[in-house]
Structure formats: C-alpha cells, structure tokens
C-alpha cells in the first residue's frame, strides 16, 4: 500500500489545490515511517513570495514536526523536479530520500550540475506523465 | 552617506545579533531608494529550520513591504556570500543588486558555477575583513 506511487498521488492532490488557486501546480508531501508529516503546494502568487515553493514550506513544516532541522528518515515526494533554491534547502536538511515526479529541464537542479546531499537517495519519474501533464496544461492555458 | 559600506555596517549589526543567539553570524539588509525595507539575521538554530537564512527572511520581508514578489530597485547587503538556496531565491526575486561582504568558498554559489539573475548587479568584498572575521571567530570558538 505505502508505495512511492501512493504518496506521489497525495503530492498530485496538493498540486491540484495549487492549480485551483491559479498557482504553478506543484505539490509536495514529506513522509516519515509511513506517516505524512508535511503537505504543501506552491503559494508564490498567493503570498507574493518567491520563497513559497511547495518544497520550502514542506521542509519548514516537517522540521517543525520533527523538532529538529535535519530530516533524517524522511522522504519528500514532489511532483516537479526542485529548483536551485529548493535543492539548496534539501541539501541543508540532509533529507534521506527525494522522489520526483516530472523533470524540469529548464529550472531543475539536475541540469545545473547540482546534486543533493550525499546521504540523499533520489528516485525519478514516479507518476511522471500525470505530474508533467498538470504543469503543461497550466502553461498552455496561460498562453 | 548612503554608501555600500554604510548599509553593510547595518548588515554586520544583524550578524552581531545572530552571534549573540549562538547562530552562524550572517546578517542582511535590503534597501530600496535609500530606505531600509528589510533586516534579518540567520535563525536556523533558533527556529530549527534550515530555510531560515538571513537572506531568505529578508527576501520574504522585503516582498511583503513592496507588495509584490519581484525586488526591482532593491539592493541586498549580506555579510557572507549566499549559498545555493539563497542564490536560487535571489534569482527568482530578480533583485537589482547584491552587495556581498565576505566570500564563502565552500558553501557559496560562485564556486558552484551558479549566477544570479541577468538583471542583478553583484558587488563583492565590501567590508570583507570584518564580515569574514566574525564568521571565523564563531567557528574558532566552536572548536
């Protein structure tokens, strides 16, 4: 039951909430011991704040739940590949695992030759089609 | 009067406040039209939050003051070279100018081959000696 797909679906639900707010639809959950300890979606427009990416909010929220700034034994599920900012935050957090839905060739950290923390396992392409479609549809509708 | 040194001294005062809280002493101010619109210091330990770097807080706070997420006509003065996370946030903000006190060869964005937004002017080494000394002293005392 508690598969990567299961939690990525929850992240996609968060992306859907962002979409309903006319935000770039990216969603994220953080899980520890099969328990969801943080959920967030992109709120940069709503909050007028470039730092309000789903991942940033989820990292703050998970650290608050854990009572410490390191996200050991935690896995982030995020619908879109993190940007440089979120990559940097994930590095500082030393999170155990990051599961990514769709790649972001332009803005994502991978094509910038950045990496996550040596302790962090990365899994790509989980529910890739759905995760990329929601973003593509959003930008198509904007044109 | 309103020189880069003038505002960097204010950023150093913020770093001093961080030091008194036993935080890595980094301080930051954001100025628009010679008016200080945000001040912040590193609070990662106090808040148990890796995202609570001085720059991140100042960006959020300045955007709040400006009523918009883009920091046009704004200059950030920061005592230590921003990390990857803060570099990413500065990129999204399209801030006009970033004035840096001391370099951070290990953790700073410059040696990671990252750059700020094409619209962003960068000035280095303003009050470099004082800005680097406060960090060196902090880590020396930790050993």
Q: Going residue by residue through chain B, which has 143 residues, state the pLDDT in tens, using 9 for 90 and above.
A: 889 999 999 999 999 999 999 999 999 999 999 999 999 999 999 999 999 999 999 999 999 999 999 999 999 999 999 999 999 999 999 999 999 999 999 999 999 999 999 999 999 999 999 999 999 999 999 88
Chain B, nearest residue to A45 by Cα: B69
A84:B83 CB<8 A: no
Give A115's contacts (C-beta < 8 A, 6+ positions apart): A109
Alpha helices in B27-111 (DSSP H): 54-66, 84-93
Q: Nearest 5°: phi and psi at B55? A: -65, -40
Q: Which of B20, B55, B81, B128 is catalytic?
A: B55
Per-residue pLDDT 10s for chain A (143 aa) are 889 999 999 999 999 999 999 999 999 999 999 999 999 999 999 999 999 999 999 999 999 999 999 999 999 999 999 999 999 999 999 999 999 999 999 999 999 999 999 999 999 999 999 999 999 999 999 88
User: Which of A38, A45, A51 should one mutate to test binding to chain B, selecting the residue with the greatest count of B CBs within 10 A?
Assistant: A51
User: Which of B28, B51, B64, B67 should one mutate to test binding to chain A, selecting the residue with the greatest count of A CBs within 10 A?
Assistant: B51
**Which residues 104-133 of B have a C-beta within 8 angstroms of A?**
112-114
**Which secondary structure element, helix H or strand E, spans residue B16, and what is its range?**
helix B4-20
Q: Which residues of A touch B83 (CB under 8 A)?
A: 88, 92
Angle between helices A4-20 and A128-142 in degrees, nearest 10: 10
How far apart, in whole angstroms, are the C-alpha atoms of residue A6 and residue B51? 27
């Amino acid at each position: 039951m508690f598969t990567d797909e299961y939690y990525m679906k929850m992240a996609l639900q968060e992306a859907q909430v962002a979409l309903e707010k006319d935000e770039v639809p990216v969603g994220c959950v953080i899980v520890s011991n099969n328990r969801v300890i943080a959920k967030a979606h992109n709120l940069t427009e709503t909050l007028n704040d470039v730092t309000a990416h789903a991942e940033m909010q989820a990292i703050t929220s998970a650290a608050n739940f854990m009572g410490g700034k390191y996200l050991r034994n935690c896995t982030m599920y995020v619908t879109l590949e993190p940007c440089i900012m979120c990559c940097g935050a994930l590095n500082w957090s030393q999170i155990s695992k990051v599961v990514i839905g769709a790649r972001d060739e332009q803005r994502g950290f991978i094509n910038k030759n950045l990496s996550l923390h040596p302790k962090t396992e990365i899994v790509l392409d989980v529910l890739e089609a759905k995760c990329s479609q929601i973003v593509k549809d959003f930008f198509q509708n904007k044109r």
